[in-house]
Structure 1
Amino acid sequence: MRVGIIGFGKMGQIRAAAIEAGGQAEIVTVFDTVVADDCPYPVASSAEEIVDDPTLDAVFICTPNWLNRPLTIASLRAGKHVFCEKPPCFNGTEMREIIGVERASGRTLMYGFNHRHHGAILRMKEMVAGGEFGRVLWMRGRYGKSVDGDYLTGWRADKKLAGGGILLDQGIHMLDLLLHINGRAFDEVHALVSNLYWKTPGIEDNVFALMRDSTTGCSVSFHSTMTQWRHLFSLEVFLERGYLVLNGLKTNSGTYGEEVLTIARNRARAPAATFDSEERIHFEVDASWQRETDAFFEAVRTGSEVQYGSSTQALQVLDLIDRIYENERHESEELRETLLGHAD
């Protein structure tokens, strides 16, 4: 397959390395507003040149948030298979528009929900689906990072360009994993959204949410933050006969620590599990980028459905984000009034 990459910054280069290593496609051309002189690939004059190139089979879209939707739609309409980074777009309404174009095009569309391809997540999903520990009772997901003032000096500080703050930027990954593990949508949502520290209008720096799947009773606690002050990833799944706890995530930067999955089965007497009874699995290699890229090309080659990162899954997580934003409005207005009162 012949591939073009739109957006050749950090993510575009990560995707290029995975494409090259997989050997299933040839990178024909790339485009970015700034490309290094030593770029190993031919550089297009514009994104449109790649979209309209009839010799290309697929396009990888690795651009800032506001460009993802229009470039995806244009590429699908031009007959290209598309791999696009998150967020797919800004809300469920926009995602439904994309799905309509996808279905009309007959092409493969996959989104970069990369965390599903991490070794620990694959193991967790396999164990939950296998039923060995019974049904999921509750989950807790925390995903946070520390940023400095430079983080909000560019497009990320503009809601029209970013679509939102930490929830859409990073929290979307944790929400996707919670939906992935549960296997169903959460129909009850309660949320608090704030920007008490960075104080950037429309760009939240913290989101707390409680969610529940009323059919199964599974309840979820979720926190997404950019005031963690030290990067953190933690996903806990507690089941009837044991638990799965993932702390840390293997990344290129190494800032989220070691990826360690802890597994324990309940005992007959309290406490139901002990530290000594836990099994700890260390995932020392991050093969998620390669798995994800290979999965995209496999779906294109065989015409099979996208398993992880499909447009349907993207819609599910965007609908959930919509509900979090909508649910918090009245609460945040009351919070602002309270804070203003305290300031007086």
Structure 2
Amino acid sequence: MTGKKYNIALIGAGRMGARWAKVIHASTRATLSVVVDPNKEVGQGIARKYGAVYLPKFPKKNFSVDAFFVVTPHAYLYPHARRALLSHKPVFIEKPGARNAAELKKLIALAKKKRQLLMVGFNYRFFDALQKTKKILDAKTLGNVLFMRLRHGHPGRANYQKEWRMDKNIAGGGVLMDQGIHLIDLVLWYMPGEIKKLSAVSQNSFWKSKVEEQVSLILKNDKGQIASMSVGITEWKPIFSLEIIGERGYVRVEGLGRKYGGKELLTVGLKNKDGTVTEKTTTCNPEPENALKALFKKFIISVKTGKISGPTGEDALRVLEIVGKTYKVLENT
């Protein structure tokens, strides 16, 4: 891809912000021009590393950039993305897009009013094994999909209960608003349809926090397809497991990136005429930064063409609406 090199402003320089800064800097189509973060040591450190200007807060006046990457804790996604859209610039928001569906609806409406792109960072879609799975489903290799099973989680880290991810006022919830967001997005991506039934249970027995630490969720859509998922920060080892069962076979993904299992294995099993199953396992590329690079490429293409080519605000809204319904169910169980 050749052409203009886009100047990017990064809002938020935490764990995920640092990863995005590296990806943006490495791109031949973009320059990390500005880093905004209230933590001077962290923000200035990333800005110096990549030759960007550091600012402690979003400036009151517009500044000369081509697009914004908003990568902050959930409570600050909405206000920063709103200011970016008011600057008449394309905006990328890290998942989940906002703290709740109500906030995201406002951003979607504003993006339409300002005629600006709004993309959300569902990077799991771009992992090698999950991309290959999508192609298998789109080719109808498995026939009609019947159901999905997903398990995902990690053991947390020291004092995890004190992090913002465990603060409902900032995160909007617990693990469901973190890794659970990715699983729900994958369900909607692989099994498009309107969710008609939802059941869920949760617990917070390990970290003793005020948010959900473990959630089991079952979804059923208008096509009769079912997805069951378990997500938590109470695992002894990081885990990612996905199974999709179809009329003619199945797909299984074990591991995701180097963090969740070290390897990323894709197994496809297809039914033979005699009732036996032929199974083939492929080792996929486990490099997690490749997923970010692929998503960033989609964003740049979208900015260039003016037509979104990746996870949309509407995609994120559907996920957050399911999260909201799940929390209502959990309140009554």
Q: What is the TM-score with the length of structure 1 in the denominator?
A: 0.89
- My pick for the range that moved more, 15-24 or 68-77, is 15-24
Q: Which amino acid aligns with 2:283?
A: H
The answer for the alignment partner of 1:72 in structure 2 is 81
The answer for the alignment partner of 2:267 in structure 1 is 262
Does 2:212 match 1:209? no
Whole-angstrom CA distance in 1 between matches of 2:232 and 2:161 = 14
Q: What SS class does the counterpart of residue 159 from structure 2 fall into?
A: helix
Within a 5 Å distance, the mapping from 1:32-71 to structure 2 comes to 32=37, 33=39, 34-35=41-42, 37=45, 38-49=48-59, 52-71=61-80
Q: What SS class does the counterpart of residue 229 from structure 2 fall into?
A: strand
Within a 5 Å distance, the mapping from 1:183-262 to structure 2 comes to 183-201=192-210, 203-213=211-221, 215-251=222-258, 254-262=259-267
Does 2:311 match 1:294? no
Structure 1 position 149, deviation (Å): 4.1
Whole-angstrom CA distance in 1 between matches of 2:271 and 2:19 = 41
The answer for the alignment partner of 2:323 in structure 1 is 321
Within a 5 Å distance, the mapping from 1:1-344 to structure 2 comes to 1-32=6-37, 33=39, 34-35=41-42, 37=45, 38-49=48-59, 52-201=61-210, 203-213=211-221, 215-251=222-258, 254-270=259-275, 272-273=276-277, 277-286=278-287, 287-306=290-309, 308-331=310-333
Does the C-alpha gap of structure 1 residues 256 and 62 become closer, same or farther in structure 2, counting only changes over 3 Å?
farther
Q: Is the 8 A contact 1:141 1:178 kept in 2?
A: no
Structure 1 position 269, deviation (Å): 4.0
Structure 1 position 329, deviation (Å): 1.6
Q: Is the 8 A contact 2:174 2:212 kept in 1?
A: yes
Whole-angstrom CA distance in 1 between matches of 2:163 and 2:141 = 48
Q: What SS class does the counterpart of residue 200 from structure 1 fall into?
A: coil
Q: Is the 8 A contact 1:30 1:41 kept in 2?
A: no
Does the C-alpha gap of structure 1 residues 55 and 97 become closer, same or farther in structure 2, counting only changes over 3 Å?
same
Whole-angstrom CA distance in 2 between matches of 1:157 and 1:115 = 22
Structure 2: runs of 5 or more not aligned: 1-5
Structure 1 position 200, deviation (Å): 1.2
Whole-angstrom CA distance in 2 between matches of 1:284 and 1:158 = 34
- My pick for the range that moved more, 34-43 or 228-237, is 34-43
Q: What SS class does the counterpart of residue 154 from structure 2 fall into?
A: strand
Q: Is the 8 A contact 2:153 2:233 kept in 1?
A: yes
Does the C-alpha gap of structure 1 residues 13 and 114 become closer, same or farther in structure 2, counting only changes over 3 Å?
same
Q: Is the 8 A contact 2:32 2:50 kept in 1?
A: no
Whole-angstrom CA distance in 2 between matches of 1:10 and 1:328 = 30
Q: Which amino acid aligns with 1:304?
A: K
Q: Which amino acid aligns with 1:206?
A: Q
Structure 1 position 257, deviation (Å): 2.4
Q: What SS class does the counterpart of residue 133 from structure 2 fall into?
A: helix
Q: What SS class does the counterpart of residue 39 from structure 1 fall into?
A: helix
* Superposed structure 1 runs of 4+ greater than 6 Å apart: none
Does the C-alpha gap of structure 1 residues 113 and 257 become closer, same or farther in structure 2, counting only changes over 3 Å?
same
Structure 1 position 91, deviation (Å): 1.9
Q: What SS class does the counterpart of residue 44 from structure 1 fall into?
A: strand
Q: Is the 8 A contact 2:91 2:119 kept in 1?
A: yes
Whole-angstrom CA distance in 1 between matches of 2:266 and 2:18 = 29
More strand by share: 2
Q: Is the 8 A contact 2:196 2:220 kept in 1?
A: yes
Whole-angstrom CA distance in 2 between matches of 1:285 and 1:260 = 9
Structure 1 position 211, deviation (Å): 1.1
